[in-house]
Amino acid sequence: MRLLYIDPHPVPDTCPEAMQILQTVDGLAQVGCEVILATPRPRADCRAEQVLGRPASAGIVFRHLSDLRGHRWLPLRSGRLFYRAACRLVGELEGVDGILVRNLKLAEALLALPKRPPIVFETHEVFARTFAEDRPDPAWRDRRKLAALRRREGGVYARSDGIAALTRWLLDDLREEYGVTTPGVVVPDGVDLAAAQAVRVKLAWSDPPELLYLGSLHPWKGVGRLIAALPGIADACLVIAGGPQARIAELERQAAALGVAGRVRCLGSVPPERRFQVIADADVCLLPLTDTSIGSRYTSPLKLFEYMAAGKPIVAADVPALRSVITDGVDGVLAPVDDERLLAAAINGLLADRGHALALGRAAQQRAADYAWTVRALTLRRFFDELRKNQND
């Protein structure tokens, strides 16, 4: 099968979106697909090895399209030139069995082509819902933007040949929001099992134990709740890896106000190739989230699967998207999202019973095999096969 993945963000890159795209196409290549990855040219210092920890699989063909956004002599913000280049590429290529895309404006441009392979839109959120949640009291400009966003998003979902959603709740919500019947498939994010198993194994817990949060520091991630819970957690320090310096400063001020600044260590941005070692050095891994659509129903966190693959005991938010992965008391612990006291109690329970914590980590590691990138890739390949079969019937 020959697939084309197009995105207006340079790949490889170290931002989460670009990392997820590279891991997806690498998984597709591992299961026998030829994948043409068409993006703007990445920076010279960004290589696939930085993300994957190894060279990209042989089945990937990197195709760099012209993109003048941000150029010093043509400082455009619009991606229209890139979209045009992408449309030309689709017209030039022969023998492509399907196109995968996750950018709404790009998808809109490709769907307008008169002749094209089947297009699957990979959705990570219902943009109109998350936009509205972020603006509970919208100004008139926000209302105009929301109306335009709903038109674009609804049109893409309705006209795509298929939809690949991170969670079943996301697929349900977009069908409810727009009334579309487009064929859909659930494809959670994944993990590179070999990379997780290649790092140095920690033989004993630190003293005091180290609790780890690794990932972005967006408010919907709920990291502030970890700091709020820390005064109720006995004899442990919190390591926060990731995020920009401005957000780190906010969290450090919160920790100081609660009197736990000495128990919080912020590492800042961690190079992707080091992330598994950072996880391996932790004792308990944490994934708090908030009760928002993106935090509770749409997320399929890369870091959750990486924690699992590393065999770490996990305390995570008790939200639908995570309940579909973690069974409370079997391969992790789920804690309410809005109660720092109960979050602290869940963490204290693992710290007090390390045998149980290690057993949960071993069970999580076994469960992680269900979320390998190659598992995701096989699901996508079968979905494209079904779409082609239906198109030919």
Question: Do 179 and 155 share a structural domain?
Answer: yes
Mean pLDDT of the chain: 93
Q: Answer whether 0.75 is exceeded by the pTM.
A: yes
Question: Do 346 and 270 share a structural domain?
Answer: yes
Confidence of residue 71 (pLDDT cuts 50, 70, 90): low
Question: Do 250 and 176 share a structural domain?
Answer: no
The residue-averaged pLDDT of 108-125 equals: 96
Confidence of residue 69 (pLDDT cuts 50, 70, 90): low
The residue-averaged pLDDT of 355-370 equals: 96
Per the CB < 8 A criterion, the answer to whether 314 and 271 are in contact is: no
Question: Do 227 and 186 share a structural domain?
Answer: no
Confidence of residue 389 (pLDDT cuts 50, 70, 90): confident
Question: Do 377 and 366 share a structural domain?
Answer: no
Confidence of residue 392 (pLDDT cuts 50, 70, 90): confident
Report the CATH number that the domain containing residue 294 is assigned in CATH. 3.40.50.2000
If one counts the domains in the chain, the total is: 2
Dist CA 27 CA 122 (whole Å) = 15
DSSP 199: S
Burial 19-36 (b: 16+ CB within 10 A, else e): bbbbbbbbbbbbbebbbb
The residue-averaged pLDDT of 201-227 equals: 92
Question: Do 295 and 185 share a structural domain?
Answer: no
Question: Do 9 and 105 share a structural domain?
Answer: yes
Among candidate residues 226, 245, 246, 253, the one with its CA nearest the CA of residue 346: 226
270: buried, middle or exposed (CB in 10 Å: 19+, 13-18, 0-12)? middle
Residue-range definition of the domain harbouring residue 294: 193-370
Question: Do 290 and 382 share a structural domain?
Answer: no
Question: Do 203 and 180 share a structural domain?
Answer: no
**pLDDT tens column, 5-64:** 999 999 999 888 999 999 999 999 999 999 999 999 888 888 898 889 889 999 999 999
| Residue 76: pLDDT over 60 | no
Question: Do 207 and 142 share a structural domain?
Answer: no
Q: Where are the alpha helices (DSSP H) in the chain?
A: 16-30, 48-52, 80-92, 104-111, 127-134, 140-159, 168-178, 193-197, 223-229, 245-257, 275-280, 302-309, 320-323, 340-352, 354-367, 373-392
Question: Do 157 and 27 share a structural domain?
Answer: yes
Strands 2-6 and 98-101: parallel
| Residue 236: pLDDT over 60 | yes
57 φψ region: left (φ > 0), alpha (ψ -120 to 50), beta (else):
beta
Dist CA 283 CA 32 (whole Å) = 37
| Residue 72: pLDDT over 70 | no
The residue-averaged pLDDT of 305-309 equals: 97
Question: Do 282 and 359 share a structural domain?
Answer: yes
pLDDT at 79: 75
| Residue 93: pLDDT over 90 | yes
